[in-house]
Amino acid sequence: MAHLPRRTHSILLILSFQICFSTIFAVFGSVFQEEFSEELLLKPLPDRKVLAHFHFETTAPPLSTSHGRHHHLFPKAIAQLVQKFHVKEMELSFTQGRWNYDRWGGFDPISSSNAKPPGVELWAVFDVPKDQVDASWKNLTHTLSGLFCASINFLESSTTYSAHEWGFHPSSGGLRYGTLPREAVCTENLTPWLKLLPCRDKAGLSALLDRPSIYRGFYHSQRLHLTSSEFHSSSVESGIVLEQALTVVLQPNSHKTSKTFSSETKLQPSWSLSSIFGRKVTGRCVLAKTSNVYLQLERGLVTELENLQKDNTITGPDHVGSGGLKDNPGFELSVRPDKMYKEVNSLHRKSSSVLYEYSIERYSVFEPFDLGLTWKFPVVWSCPRAPLHSSRFLMGSGNQRGTIAISFISTDLEEGFLSANIGEESCKLQADIFQVVPWYIKVYYHTLRVFVDGQPEAITNVVEKMHVSPSEDKVSPGVMELVLKFPCAVKSAALTLEFDKGFLHIDEYPPDANQGFDIPSAVIIFPNFQTSMHYLEDNSSNKSPMLSKFQEKSPVLSYTEVLLVPLTTPDFSMPYNVITITCTVFALYFGSLLNVLRRRVGEEERILKNSASKKAGRLPQLLSRLSAKLRGKEWEPPQSPSTSSSFISSKLLLKVLIVAGVAVFWQYYSE
């Protein structure tokens, strides 16, 4: 009888939650509805490429309020997975290519949540007792591996995943993190991912996903993020939220006509949906609640365009743009946007980014949606970058030892920006590092050295907090979590850690001589810097899930490069040599051992004494005869009659001669 009050309580809570955060639930009057929304964000990038970010979100109400285990839209596989393994939160990403933090941005929600390390990254928070977390993780990896046709099950072994305290994602113990940098990502991983969508790729925005064109891109990352509050520990029950995002960076086909290598800047390539994807949007997925396409213009671009507009107004006063950038001089849009949002500028920057919204509800097969962007003037802008550009590399050569170095170089951040965030005095720039190193790279954590602006610095001055769990051979990887505080005026900084390369057991090597072993990406987090883009909207009730996602405050996050460590590798292609050597050694050993064991010295000597007086061996006899002949003396046969033995030897000689003759004969006449 305690059910009813608890339910009402939870409903109340949800309602309050809704009011506070204006989340996605307030739609057709009913809270307990499964919902699906599809959105696409397009963004021109400074280096003549286009970013396309697909965002699909499916929500299921809590189990207690829905119709048992039956779902309308929500994928059953995911729901079962959540039920079975008590997953509180999970993120799985498949990535091909590297995100270019310098050119594609490192300070916006897209880059910090969608730029992922190459290969597979998986982390999950479980809502189970601590001793069952590992078992749940193992089961989860196997399930996901089956679901997504990938070898995620390799994350099962304890050498590949790690549990950490606070470095990467704030959680309370039940978190496991693992990456597979070597995993190749292809369409076989995309298809199951698309199967989770209610319309698959048959209708709606996902129909744009033409495999050849998206895999031809420069970056491809498909991500699946899952939050659930099914279980008793959380007070808010929002059900399961499944967020699927696909981020691709594509190069529009620029016609090679304008290839001039003069110093003047080139016109950005113009593009349209049909030119970059090879398809058009032929209507929305009818099951989707919202189905929108956005075009985002970055701050830098908007500033440049405004400058351009100002120049134009000076020269020609008839172009006074009243409606913002709607009829700007820089580019032209083929479809007129339905709405335009401006970013709410909290930090008093010069300008703010602009978002155009297209609702594709009114488009159909007969009137497909094909957004095109044509540049009219060459524009050069730069994207917002993370406060420090981080890169990681290996130092040293050879097969014995090396050094991992992480270097930070400050990017061009406006001065006021830094000081606006933190107080003027004792200004510190915080950077968190989370790094997992496989056990065969034996990192000596005591060799950690920090250099700031080219000067060695005491670790205690820079490192605020540190958590290290050293690796254990064949059991667990080494995990390092660091909180660094640099002075704000830092220009460059570097961290070095020395390591020894370990030896693998013979069955741990890949089957052939390999290129090396990977050290997964380190995660660099700047917790003082929050990425959030707040767009001013007219009616806050009908908020799109993607924009609310952008609005969430999350720290700036970047991944470093994957490193390749060549380890000493035995040459497995020649096991034959080993077999031969072993057999020879064995034969020699056993031969001599047997010889020693069965030898009876006294007996032998007696026999030898007897025989020495009688006769010499056959071969010495022959030899002595030969030498006697050479010396021209008469050969004197030994005293004892040895006719039988000489007879045998001549017979043998005859046999050998006959065989040799036959062989020579055969050799000549066989040809």
Q: Is 671 in the site for other proteins (CB under 8 A)?
A: yes
Say if residues 55 and 546 touch (Cβ distance below 8 Å): yes
Stretch that binds other proteins, among 90-98, 121-129, 149-157, 379-387 (CB under 8 A): 90-98
Least distance to other proteins, CB of residue 507, Å: 19
530: exposed, middle or buried (Cβ count in 10 Å: 0-12, 13-18, 19+): middle
Tell me, by CB under 8 A, how many residues bind other proteins.
57
Least distance to other proteins, CB of residue 396, Å: 6
- Which residue, 184 or 340, is less far from other proteins as judged by CB? 184
Q: Is 564 in the site for other proteins (CB under 8 A)?
A: yes
Q: Is 327 in the site for other proteins (CB under 8 A)?
A: no
User: Residues 5, 170, 317, 398: which binds other proteins (CB under 8 A)?
Assistant: 398
- Which residue, 122 or 249, is less far from other proteins as judged by CB? 249
| Binding to other proteins in span 402-421, by CB under 8 A | 405, 407, 409
Which candidate, 166, 409, 185, 368, places its Cα nearest to that of 281? 368
User: Residues 146, 316, 416, 516: which binds other proteins (CB under 8 A)?
Assistant: 516
Helix axes 618-631, 643-669, angle to 10 degrees: 80
Least distance to other proteins, CB of residue 671, Å: 7
Tokens of 258: 């304008």
Which distant-in-sequence residues (6+ apart) come within 8 Å of 34 by Cβ?
A: 58, 59, 60, 61, 66, 71, 72, 73, 74
- Which residue, 179 or 228, is less far from other proteins as judged by CB? 179
User: Residues 54, 56, 218, 277: which binds other proteins (CB under 8 A)?
Assistant: 218
Which distant-in-sequence residues (6+ apart) come within 8 Å of 291 by Cβ?
A: 37, 38, 39, 204, 205, 284, 285, 359, 360, 361
| Binding to other proteins in span 610-669, by CB under 8 A | 612, 667
Q: Is 46 in the site for other proteins (CB under 8 A)?
A: no
Read off the amino acid at residue 244: Q
What is the DSSP code string of 608-657? HHHHHHH---HHHHHHHHHHHHHHTPPPPPPSS--HHHHHHHHHHHHHHH
Q: Is 522 left (phi over 0), alpha (psi -120 to 50) or beta?
A: beta
Stretch that binds other proteins, among 32-40, 449-457, 499-507, 540-548 (CB under 8 A): 449-457
349: exposed, middle or buried (Cβ count in 10 Å: 0-12, 13-18, 19+): middle
Least distance to other proteins, CB of residue 220, Å: 8
Say if residues 204 and 283 touch (Cβ distance below 8 Å): yes
* 3-class secondary structure, 131: helix
- Which residue, 267 or 333, is less far from other proteins as judged by CB? 267
Q: Is 111 in the site for other proteins (CB under 8 A)?
A: no
Distances from the Cα of 48 to the Cαs of 247, 249, 295, 638, in angstroms?
Answer: 17, 10, 15, 103
Tokens of 183: 């995993």
User: Residues 12, 135, 513, 593: which binds other proteins (CB under 8 A)?
Assistant: 513
Least distance to other proteins, CB of residue 98, Å: 5
Which distant-in-sequence residues (6+ apart) come within 8 Å of 477 by Cβ?
A: 159, 160, 161, 162, 436, 437, 438, 439, 471
Q: Is 261 in the site for other proteins (CB under 8 A)?
A: yes
Least distance to other proteins, CB of residue 110, Å: 19
Q: Is 396 in the site for other proteins (CB under 8 A)?
A: yes
Least distance to other proteins, CB of residue 47, Å: 7
How would you label 400-413 residue by residue, b for 16+ Cβ within 10 Å and e otherwise?
Answer: eebbbbbbbebbeb
Least distance to other proteins, CB of residue 335, Å: 29
Least distance to other proteins, CB of residue 439, Å: 20
Which distant-in-sequence residues (6+ apart) come within 8 Å of 209 by Cβ?
A: 54, 190, 194, 201, 246, 277
- Which residue, 30 or 397, is less far from other proteins as judged by CB? 397
Rounded-to-integer distance, Cα 330 and Cα 559, Å? 34
- Which residue, 156 or 518, is less far from other proteins as judged by CB? 518
| Binding to other proteins in span 11-40, by CB under 8 A | none
Q: Is 562 in the site for other proteins (CB under 8 A)?
A: yes
| Binding to other proteins in span 332-371, by CB under 8 A | none
Instruction: Give the H/E segment covering residue 126.
Output: strand 119-126
User: Residues 216, 376, 428, 467: which binds other proteins (CB under 8 A)?
Assistant: 216
Least distance to other proteins, CB of residue 79, Å: 34
Q: Is 97 in the site for other proteins (CB under 8 A)?
A: yes
Least distance to other proteins, CB of residue 321, Å: 31
User: Residues 605, 641, 657, 658: which binds other proteins (CB under 8 A)?
Assistant: 605
Q: Is 563 in the site for other proteins (CB under 8 A)?
A: yes
Q: Integer distance in angstroms from the first to the last C-alpha of the chain?
A: 103
Least distance to other proteins, CB of residue 256, Å: 8
User: Residues 514, 542, 580, 584: which binds other proteins (CB under 8 A)?
Assistant: 514
224: exposed, middle or buried (Cβ count in 10 Å: 0-12, 13-18, 19+): buried
Which residues would be at the binding site for other proteins (CB under 8 A)?
47-48, 96-98, 100, 118-119, 181, 215-218, 220, 256, 259, 261, 263, 389, 391, 393-398, 405, 407, 409, 451, 454-456, 492, 494, 496, 512-516, 518, 561-564, 566, 569, 571, 573, 601, 605, 608-609, 612, 667, 671
